[in-house]
Structure 1
Amino acid sequence: MTASRADTPLVVSAFGVRVRLDFAEDFAADAAARIRESWTGAQVVYDPAEPDETIVVTPEGDLEALAELLTVKVTLAALERRGGELMMFHACGVADPAGRVAAFVGPSGRGKTTLSRALGAHYGYVSDETVAVDPQLAVSPYRKPLSVVRPGMPKEQVSPGGAGLLPVPEGPLLLSALVLLERDADHPAPTIEPVAFPEAIAEIAPQMSYLAELPRPLQTLATLCDRIGGVVRLTYADASTVPPIVPALLDHERVHEDWEPAGIDVVHPEFDLSDVTDAIRCGDRVVVLAHRWVSVLDGIAPVIWDALRAGRSTGEIVDDVVAHFGHPEQGDPHDLVRTAIDQLVDARVLVRRG
């Protein structure tokens, strides 16, 4: 018996993108049923209208390896579709009964899937991989299968319900907490601490998809962080200790930090700054996005940055640095400025002309 595209359509939702999985005519019915079961958390009622994206599923190799690859394909298709529209964090997320979402951001290896399973038994499972947020803080869930590690074997794709995770509450979901994950086996109990904007953005940016495609990326991200009262860091040893402190994360002390745009509005005669996508000033530091990489400028670099924005020459930049910091007790200010500019060039923030 085979499962055909005509009589077994499967349409899933990923960040609001409708992705249809078309099974090849020779795809075994029991294998298709296994894949459909793993996607029950994200499945939507079949609509004969054209989906946003279509993926053809062909019978290739081990079923679990295929299911894992299929999850990757759906995710990438949805990410590409919503790139430039949503802020998409490499994060796991859960929602409380009021629809408030906590997104736990971190690179691979920080335990997001394990944390999803621990939290999802008590709160609505939003995603174990990507939390997508629009500028109004609305969260689009991605209740994909959980990828469960099996030593020496492909990851097993398990549906949220099969893993014992709760559904999201009815009604809109709104981001309320953006949480940087830090796992420390020697940490006695989970702790929550605020993270300053520059450090937070520098850590979050590499954990976002299509950040540079957003309009004014750093300003958009800083606005979001400000609207939710800043970013916090959660340090924990074991995922089982985290569910009891989710209310404290959602109700964390709101912190406001002033920031302002610090982009380049002039053509500088000595340096090409056209690779800078966006920049913001936070107090005495400047955060710059160039070549899809975030740099945090401190020390004399922010003064240099402001001078570059004004189109000032290297000699005038030295004057600005001395006026701001005074003449250095040791070393020549020209050498200090040249070294700082060399570091900006090495970071690909600046390119020397000529």
Structure 2
Amino acid sequence: MSTAFDVRALASSFRIELDDSLSTADQESIRAHWVDLAHDGVGEPDQVIRAGLRDYPASDAAQVIRADSPEAVAQRITSEVTIGAIGGLRGEALMLHASAVALDDGRVIGFVGPSGRGKTTASQVLGRVYGYVTDETLAVRVDGSVVAYPKPLSIGSWPGVKVTEPASALGLRGAPADGLHLAAIVLLDRRPEVEQPFVESVPIIEALSELVPQTSHLSALDRPLRTLLEAILSTGGVRRVVYSEASSLPPLIDDVLRETGGDSPVLTDVAKMSQRDCDCFSGIVETPSDPSRVERPGAYWRVTYGDALMVDDSLVLLVSGQVVVLTGVGPILWLAADGLTQEELQAIALRQLPDPPAGVDVAAVISDSVHSLVESRIFVGT
């Protein structure tokens, strides 16, 4: 006998269909994993997932899952629901690979980190004191509101199949139903040798470099770098918690909420660079350059980029999903490189920069910088 049930994950609905290759007990066990996200099933679901122990023919109407054991089926279902839920908010929310808990007043603390940093373990410990929001995906809308995703927790270590458990069965508290809003972004840094856990501020440029790889569909957002930076600044900057055991985390929550990053950078969109006394950039375009537009020997162009933003005097780029930070002469060269030769770039840099110290070979500095940008795949030459 087959089983079908509906769940709500982030902003999407899913119908999960389990076939009779799974025993009745296994079907009921998998269904029980989703008790905290049970949905009444009104209307058609956004996605259908069919799962079992036997092979299925490909289907355009459903995501098909086949695994060798009920435990593996359960884990695959959790992964597919999460991937689908993240995709459902593509371009609408900042999505961090993070666990998160909420205070009774709706303030949400997100703990960001790659696999192995202890996000799920942190959720289990903190979720018994505070409201459990998620152990994997923290979705934050542009206005700072948080979409809860109290998914089943996948417990265990790689390699091997993890055990799936609903949050309620683990004794975790539910988060407030309404009014969730981001209050702190924390980088988890688990170090076995640390005896006394502590909280520290993270400089904003360093924080960006660590956070961007821990996002989903960041480039799909309008002005992704500004969206991420404004989320960071709205919470007082990024913190880092250095710890060895998850049991030490609850006493640190007050320090996390009290600690502020201290950064108050000036953010300037590339299209507004002329407002920073850079007259030579007043005609710069907002869209990426197209190297095929002009065949001009010796010219350099910016490669395709997802976003660009000046943070104080540093230029922060989002290129192929990675953060690139340019300082010194780098921002000037990048902003000017729209089909110009090295000599023309040098002339612009000389107009923008103070007089160089005696003995400095400006041409050599510019040449080295241009070559570095090319090697870093930030520039492309013709």
TM-score (norm 2): 0.84
Q: Distance in 1 between matches of 2:45 and 2:190?
A: 39
Deviation at 1:237, TM superposition (A): 1.9
Instruction: Report whether the alignment pairs 1:314 with 2:345.
Output: no
| Residue aligned with 2:183, SS | strand
Partner of 1:342: 371
What's 1:132 paired with? 139
Displacement of 1:27 in angstroms is 3.8
Question: 1:232 and 1:328, CA in 2 relative to 1: closer, same or farther beyond 3 A?
Answer: same
Give the C-alpha shift of residue 137 in structure 1: 0.9
- The CA distance in 1 between the partners of 2:213 and 2:29, in whole Å, is 34
Please report how far the alpha carbon of residue 312 of structure 1 lies from its aligned counterpart in structure 2 after TM superposition: 5.8
Amino acid at match of 1:227: S
Output the CA distance in 2 between the equivalents of 1:26 and 1:108: 32
Of 37, 40, 46 in structure 2, the residue corresponding to residue 42 of structure 1 is: 37
Partner-residue secondary structure (3-state), 1:192: strand
User: Is the contact between residue 291 and residue 348 of structure 1 (CA under 8 Å) also seen in structure 2?
Assistant: no
Report the counterpart of residue 48 of structure 2 in structure 1.
54
* Deviation larger for 332-341 or 123-132: 332-341
Match of 1:33 among 14, 28, 35: 28
1:150 Cα deviation from its structure 2 partner = 5.4
Structure 2 counterpart of 1:280? 309
Q: Post-superposition shift, 1:338?
A: 2.1
Amino acid of the structure 2 residue aligned with 1:168:
A
Instruction: Note if 1:20 corresponds to 2:15.
Output: yes
5+ residue gaps in structure 1? none
Maintained 8 Å contact 1:286/1:296: yes
Distance 1:110 1:150 in 2: 12
Residue matched to 2:267 = 259
Deviates more, 1:185-194 or 1:101-110: 185-194
Q: 1:187 to 1:4 in 2, by over 3 A?
A: closer
Range 340-349 or range 288-297, more displaced: 340-349
Q: CA RMSD in A?
A: 2.3
| Matched residue SS, 1:117 | helix
Shift of 1:336: 2.0
- Asked if 2 retains the 8 angstrom alpha-carbon contact of 1:273 and 1:351, the reply is yes
1:196-275 to 2 correspondences below 5 Å: 196-253=203-260, 255=262, 256-262=264-270, 265=285, 270-273=299-302, 275=304
Identity %: 33
1:181 aligns with 188
The whole-number CA distance in structure 2 between the counterparts of 1:257 and 1:295 is 17
**Where does the alignment leave 5 or more consecutive residues of structure 2 unmatched?**
54-66, 272-283
TM-aligned CA deviation for residue 23 of structure 1: 2.0
Contact 1:4 1:27 in 2 (8 A): no
Q: Secondary structure at the match of 1:126?
A: strand
Contact 2:15–2:49 under 8 Å retained in 1: yes
Which residue in 2 is equivalent to 1:3?
2
Q: Count residues with an aligned counterpart.
A: 346
* Residues in 1 aligned to 2:158 and 2:313: alpha-carbon distance in whole angstroms: 48
Structure scoring higher RCO (CA < 8 A, sep ≥ 6) equals 1
Give the aligned partner of residue 303 of structure 1. Answer: 332
Provide Cα deviations, 1:214-268, integer angstroms capped at 9, x if missing partner: 1111111112222222212221222111111213323433643221112651758
More divergent stretch after superposition (145-154 vs 217-226): 145-154
**Partner residue, 1:86:** 93
1:76 matched to which residue of 2?
Answer: 83
Report the alpha carbon displacement of residue 165 of structure 1 after superposing the two structures with TM.
Answer: 1.2
State which drifts further: 259-268 or 278-287: 259-268
TM-score (norm 1): 0.90
Judged with a 3 Å threshold, the aligned counterparts in structure 2 of structure 1 residues 341 and 27 are, in CA distance, closer, same or farther, namely same
Deviations 1:179-221 (A, max 9, x none): 1121222223222222222211111111000011111111111
